Amino acid sequence: MIDIASTDRVFVLTGAGVSAESGLPTFRGEGGIWRERRAEEIATPGAWKRDPRFVWEFYSMRRRKALEVKPNPGHAALAALEGEIGDRLFLCTQNVDNLHEQAGSREVVHLHGELLKSRCESCERPPFSDAQTYEPSAPLPRCDCGALIRPHICWFGEVPFHLDRIFRALGACTVFVAVGTSGVVEPAASFAAHARSGARARTYYVGPEEPANRSSFDELFLKKSGDVLPGLFTVHS
């Protein structure tokens, strides 16, 4: 149980594990996305340059899958927490699906981008909503400027989104909770240590296995997030 006082500010970081019970695969576990394919062949600027069609086929497959799934009780519990404490919750996800939003979360900061958005690879046109999928023979999408349209995803070697806001929130939080993330991908893997050293936040982990950054947490709840999150927070007014 995590007690939330009226003065607490809560930072929640979610990873692929929070969407696992909805039917989306994680990256590194059994049946994980990077167990079946090499990330360097798909999720890097180099892969895009070499073979944009192959990259679009991969993200088209993930878009199709993401459009089929529904939020689970873990997502719902985080939306309910926002309902209770409002902007004292900062919800940051490494996930590119929109299951937090589908569950009713209004403010979700997507560190690694969004699967259902695209952007121009070249010009300043802002990212836009896009659920289009591409069959192997379909022409690839192009911007009015002539350059290719790419998925709005942070690939390995690129700078994650919203880092200024995220580090401000980490500096201000008094409670930090990581959910369903293996703790190996930076910078997210260091967020718990940052919250603990700077803001002296209490730090918690939720997920069935110990994460690689286990030493950054004061307490671990080693169960599925759909089982733990619905009863985890007690909000005091």
Q: Tell me the one-letter amino acid at 125.
A: R
Contact present, 36 and 115 (Cβ < 8 Å): no
141 interacts with ligand OAD by CB under 6 A: no
Q: Which of 12, 16, 175, 177 binds ligand OAD (CB under 6 A)?
A: 16
22 interacts with ligand OAD by CB under 6 A: no
Q: Which residues, at least 6 apart from 87, have a Cβ–Cβ distance to it below 8 Å?
A: 107
Q: Which residues, at least 6 apart from 52, have a Cβ–Cβ distance to it below 8 Å?
A: 140, 148, 150
Q: Which of 4, 10, 11, 17 binds ligand OAD (CB under 6 A)?
A: 17
100 is catalytic: no
Interface pattern 62-101 for ligand OAD (x via CB under 6 A): --------------------------------x-------
Least distance in angstroms from the C-beta of 128 to ligand OAD? 20
DSSP per-residue letters across 6-60: TT--EEEEE-THHHHTTT---SSSTT-HHHHS-HHHHSSHHHHHH-HHHHHHHHH
Piece of the chain touching ligand OAD by CB under 6 A; list 5-13, 57-65, 162-170, 202-210: 202-210
Q: Choose, from 75, 110, 112, 152, the residue flagged as catalytic.
A: 112
Strands 202-206 and 175-179: parallel
Contact present, 191 and 114 (Cβ < 8 Å): no
232 interacts with ligand OAD by CB under 6 A: no
Piece of the chain touching ligand OAD by CB under 6 A; list 12-20, 75-83, 120-128, 130-138: 12-20
Is the Cα dihedral 128, 66, 184, 215 positive or negative? positive
Residues in the site for ligand OAD, rule: CB under 6 A?
15-18, 20-21, 26-29, 32, 39, 43, 94, 112, 154, 180-182, 185, 207-209, 211, 224-225
